[in-house]
Amino acid sequence: MKILHDVHNHSLLSSCCYDPVATVENFVNKARELGHKVFGISNHLWDEKVPGASGWYQKQMINYGLEARNSVPKDTGDVKVLIGTESEYLGATDTLGILAETGARFDYVLIPHTHTHMKNFVINEMPEVKEYRGLLREKVAAAFPDLSEPLVKKMVNSLSNNDVEALCGVSLEAVMKYHADFMVTSFHQLMNNPEFIKLAKTVPTSVAHPFHPCGFGSETRCAIMNSVSDEDYLSCFEEAKKLGVYIEVNTGAINQKADNYANEAGIRMLKLAKQAGCKFTFGTDSHSLAGLDNIRQGDVISEVCGITESDLADYVK
């Protein structure tokens, strides 16, 4: 099936986009070239009515997320242009980054649960890592008694999660299990979050790049995803189907290999989502104008997974 929509991408209005030509107007024109029927722009957003935004998200609030609407060209040809947004879900604290009443101001909303590179925000550091940071603070304070407690804490916290994992000798296997368990738990939490349930009833809502743990290389990511059992995947996706929540096929997160995706963990995950009866949306998750071309991988992915037009969300048809 040829995919004729892309509802996950980030223009220059997202703080993570650095492509100088990634304007809304250029995105829409590119969508016309690609033959899209539906094209949605989904810049990042944190609802200022929700406490707990990170410093990065504090720069991307409601009006910022809606700004793309003012940049859509008058002539979009045959392309239906939607203005959506990608907000956030913090599994560590069961916090949804957008209220349903705010979601209603957009054409659709994407909610990720796997921005696991955002440690102590989306996901807590492993207990071993947290404990070792405490030991490091004690050692630094003892070695430099003239330093204030806030300064000692700042110095130790400047070490990345990966740095401390290496220092305390936590194994890759333990890291992988921790992230796999977290993703299953956070998905269930998300499906049962009262505000998320309201959101899904208010506006078309998709889970962005489900079960794709951010911050890992392809091989480790696949190993983490493959460690999630069929039963856990099906249990999660059955909850999504019951809520009418869509599952995103993120072409930027799934890697094509010589075996035509046969050993790609994301394909197994998507097949189980289809088995559970979920509906799908496709997106490139592109942060550049050229990256929008990656939607053509979606054509192959749909064939491999057996996803047909009847399996798509109504709003992207």
Q: Residue 256: what pLDDT?
A: 67
Q: What is the pLDDT along the chain (317 residues), one digit of tens a residue?
A: 999 999 999 998 888 888 899 899 999 999 999 999 999 999 999 999 999 999 999 989 988 888 889 999 999 999 999 999 999 999 999 999 999 999 999 999 999 999 999 999 999 999 999 999 999 999 999 999 999 999 999 999 999 888 999 999 999 999 999 999 999 999 999 999 999 999 999 999 999 999 999 999 989 999 999 999 999 999 999 999 999 999 999 999 987 665 777 779 999 999 999 999 999 999 999 999 999 999 999 999 999 999 999 999 999 99
Q: Residue 16: what pLDDT?
A: 86
Q: Residue 291: what pLDDT?
A: 95
Q: Which residues are within 8 A (CB) of 242 and not within 5 positions of it... i.e. 6 or more apart?
A: none
